[in-house]
Amino acid sequence: MIHDFGIVWTERALLLSGLANTTILSVLAAIASLLLGFALTPALMSKHLAVSGTARVFVDGMRCVPFLLFAYIVYYGLPSLGLRWDNWTSGLFALIVYNTAYMAETLRGAWVAQPREPIEAGVAFGFSDLKLFRRIILPPLLLSAGPVIGNQTIQIIKDSAFLTIIALPELTHAASSIQSRHYVPFAAFITAVFLYWGLCLVVEAGVNSVGRLAEARR
Amino acid sequence: MAALNKVLDVAGVSKRFGANEVLSDVSLQVDKGETVCVLGPSGSGKSTLLRCINWLERPDAGQIYLNGQRVGVSGAGIAMSDRDLSKIRTRVGMVFQHFALWPHLTVLQNLMEAPVQVQRRPKAEVRDEALALLEKVGLVEKRDAFPSRLSGGQKQRVGIARALAMRPDLLLFDEPTSALDPELVGEVLVVMRELAHEGMTMVIVTHEMGFAREAATRVLFLDRGRNVESGPPEQFFAKPETERARQFLQRYAGDTANGKH
Ligand SMILES: Nc1ncnc2c1ncn2[C@@H]1O[C@H](COP(=O)(O)OP(=O)(O)O)[C@@H](O)[C@H]1O
Ligand SMILES: [Mg+2]
């Protein structure tokens, strides 16, 4: 058994590059889906039924599709519509679009739970448009949505493992290559599990520091 | 000239929400240094009237002038740009029933936010003025606290200081003590009384009859969206002209004693 971990150690470069790719994928997907989620949130809350209805169908639809299936559709299905992307583009696109739905729904929940009066005070004190959003609406929203955004980021990290099926060289893919090359499944996969765990701990540390900021203001 | 002293002119404002006529042809003029108290039962349109003054609500009819400038409508009858509206709003301070402080900012930051971000005044100057205002409302030692750590009375004193930090021409108060525990009402009324003595121009919606009787230069009694009665407080409280006002005063008679802290 120790010997098996020794073999994994000799393949550390492969594992580390998988870890790096998983990190890059997750960070890009988390940031992009958060930003797109922000853009989608007003649509979800729009008074125009056509707008809010369309946004709602997208969000609810996405949330009911298993991510693995969605990734299949993007990578294998879209080419038949003439969209042919490499595995990186497809994987990133799938992660971002899928998680935008979750982020938008999370932010909508936090947004409606915000007290209206401070925002109205912002308007009464001369804030409008982007400045109102940036200075008055956004900061308390991020503080209250922080933990849920963190959870969703962890979900993104885990979902990125599915991208191994489109041969994206992320962490699960690296572990899987090592095990098939050397027949050390337990050692290879357990090592990957610990690396995922480490990533999640980093995200949780971030969530906790946002939580502390929020706590001081609650 | 009297016209130059007129800070606020509300001319025949009406407002309806659907079928509900909330304000009907309400007029109100406020001269520089006046404290006008707006009284009336719940639902009579007091908040809506205040919110029309800084265009948080658009009246359906009538005009509003601040220092002679039309609010919400620019020269040719076109809706005012956000920029111009924002400029007007910074000249009208507002104090809210539930304080409406910005929870993510400290007390000092709450005071500095609009003067720095909206009025674009120099930070150092704004900071000095904000500290002086906190001194005035007795909260300078709380400058680095977040609003959630303050009592209701302290929050409302911050709310008043925040409005003053914009150097407004006019202050609007919407039931500033209604959300407070009775023992905390006094500390807020003290600050408001001081402002009245200093000659701040104010329109105050309140149920504190004692305060209105002492501090108001004029009271306006709203009932079902109509300006039913207005005049100097001595006259209104001693000899109300209408049956509605009499009934209203009877209901709030208890508060008259309460208000005299
Ligand atoms: N945004 C709104 N939409 C619909 N009705 C409203 C709105 N704001 C106020 N009202 C109604 O207008 C009436 C007057 O409200 P308000 O001005 O808040 O009265 P007051 O402050 O004197 O209690 C109430 O019947 C209230 O329900
Ligand atoms: Mg009201």
Contact A136, A206 (CB under 8 A): no
Q: Which stretches within chain B are classed as H helix?
A: 2-5, 46-53, 82-89, 107-117, 123-136, 152-164, 182-198, 209-215, 233-238, 243-251, 253-259
SS3 B115: helix
Nearest 5 degrees, angle CA A118-CA B101-CA B258?
115
Share the mean pLDDT of chain B. Answer: 93
- Report CB contact under 8 Å: B89, A216: no
The CA-atom distances, in angstroms, between B149 and each of A214, B107, B189, B201 are 13, 10, 21, 30
* Residue pLDDT, tens place only, A156-174: 999 999 999 998 999 999 9
pLDDT score recorded for residue B47: 97
Q: What is the mean pLDDT of the segment spanning A179-208?
A: 93
Give the single-character DSSP code of A108: H
Residues with CB under 6 A from ligand 1: B 17, 20, 22, 40, 42-48
pLDDT the model gives residue B234 = 94
Using 50, 70 and 90 to split pLDDT, how confident is the model at A127?
very high
**What is the number of structural domains in chain A?**
1
A143 touches chain B (CB under 8 A): yes
Reported as a single tens digit per residue, the pLDDT across B100-143 is 999 999 999 999 999 999 999 999 999 999 999 999 999 999 99
For the cut 90, the answer to whether the pLDDT of residue B51 exceeds it is: yes
Q: Is the pLDDT of residue B2 over 60?
A: no
Neighbouring residues of the ion ligand 2, judged by CB less than 5 Å? B 47
pLDDT in tens, A14-51: 999 999 999 999 999 999 999 999 999 989 998 899 99
Indicate if the pLDDT at residue B4 is higher than 90. Answer: no
Q: Which atom of ligand 1 is nearest to the CA of B57?
A: 1
ipTM of the complex: 0.93
pLDDT digits (tens, 9 = 90+) for B231-254: 999 999 999 999 999 999 998 865
| B138-159 per-position pLDDT tens digit | 999 999 999 999 999 999 999 9
Find out whether A134 and A74 touch, Cβ atoms under 8 Å: no
Taking alpha carbons only, the member of A192, A206, A173, A164 closest to residue A27 is: A206
- Determine phi and psi for A102, rounding to 5 degrees: -65, -45
CB within 8 Å of A54: residues ≥ 6 apart:
A43
What is the distance between the alpha carbons of residues A146 and A214, in angstroms, rounded to a whole number? 9
User: What residue's CA is closest to ligand 1, atom 7?
Assistant: B17
Q: Which protein residue's CA is at the shortest distance from atom 4 of ligand 1?
A: B17
The domain of A111 spans: 2-217
Spell out which chain B residues touch chain A, with contact meaning CB-CB distance below 8 angstroms. Answer: 54, 56, 82, 85-87, 89-90, 92, 94, 96, 98-104, 113-114, 117-119, 146-148, 162, 166
Give the Cα separation of A27 and A153 in Å (integer): 8
Backbone angles phi, psi at A130, to 5 degrees: -65, -40
Judge whether residue B257 has pLDDT over 70: no
% chain A with pLDDT above 90: 72
Q: Mutate one of A116, A120, A125 to test the B interface: name it (highest B CB count within 10 A).
A: A125
Query: Are A98 and B57 spatial neighbours (Cβ–Cβ below 8 Å)?
Result: no
Backbone angles phi, psi at B120, to 5 degrees: 60, 40
- How far is residue B170's CA from residue B34's CA, in Å, rounded to a whole number? 10
Site to probe by mutation for ligand 1, drawn from B13, B14, B15, B17 as the one with most ligand atoms within 8 Å of Cβ, is: B17
Q: What is the pLDDT of residue B3?
A: 58
pLDDT band at A216 (very low <50, low <70, confident <90, very high): confident
Cα separation of A150 and A135, whole Å? 22
Separation CA B176–CA A121 (nearest Å)? 14
Closest ligand (CA of B46): 1
Decide if A127 touches B, using CB distance below 8 A.
Answer: yes
Spatial separation of the C-alpha atoms in residues B246 and B3, rounded to whole Å = 33
Q: How close is the Cα of B243 to the center of ligand 2, in Å?
A: 22
B196 close to B202: Cβ distance less than 8 angstroms = yes
Note the pLDDT of residue B1: 45
Contact status, residue A36 vs residue A103, Cβ threshold 8 Å: yes
Query: Average model confidence (pLDDT) for chain A?
Result: 92
What's the CATH number where A111 sits?
Answer: 1.10.3720.10
The model's pTM is 0.86
Distance from CA of B174 to the nearest CA of A (A): 12
Q: Tens digit of pLDDT for each residue in A79-99?
A: 888 888 899 999 999 999 999
